[in-house]
Amino acid sequence: MSINFDIGDETLWNPSNGAGRLFLRQVEVFEAELGLPSGIGPGKYWGDPSTLEVDPAVFARFTRGLVAWYCQTGHAVIHALSEGFAATVIALARRAGINVEMPEAGPGHVCGGSQSDVQVPGNPLASSASVVAALDTRARETDRWMAR
């Protein structure tokens, strides 16, 4: 068995039940953390738990909010806990044709502007470029692992 994440008649991702359930649980966590709906819900065949529909407009807002949130923290543990989920969301969004721009990062520039949940001790400004690059690389790798 597996779960389909669809937009209309196109399947964006067809993970195993275990991976799909884990992803959906993480979606719930991040919807609460971000205060944003994900746009992932019951499919066109109401009552069929193996097919979920992705609303591209809502999912685009969720994805962009997630990337901004991820880049606004300089906390290494938060990055470790959320990088895989964020990469999966970005890969799924790109498959849906959603433009996901990675924030610019450079010396003295924090990815998303303001910072929250700063890791102490440490200098989060020194690694913002590597944080953005690592997330983008992880999203591209994840896309190759995701079955359609």
**pLDDT, tens digit (0-9, with 9 covering 90-100), for 105-115:** 554 445 544 45
pTM of the model: 0.83
pLDDT in tens, 31-55: 999 999 999 998 766 666 788 999 9
Segment 128-137, tens digit of pLDDT: 778 888 899 9
Question: Which residues are within 8 A (CB) of 107 and not within 5 positions of it... i.e. 6 or more apart?
Answer: 125, 129
Give pLDDT tens digits for 2-25: 899 999 889 999 999 999 999 999
Residue 106, SS3? coil
Angle at 33 between CA 67 and CA 39, to 5 degrees: 70
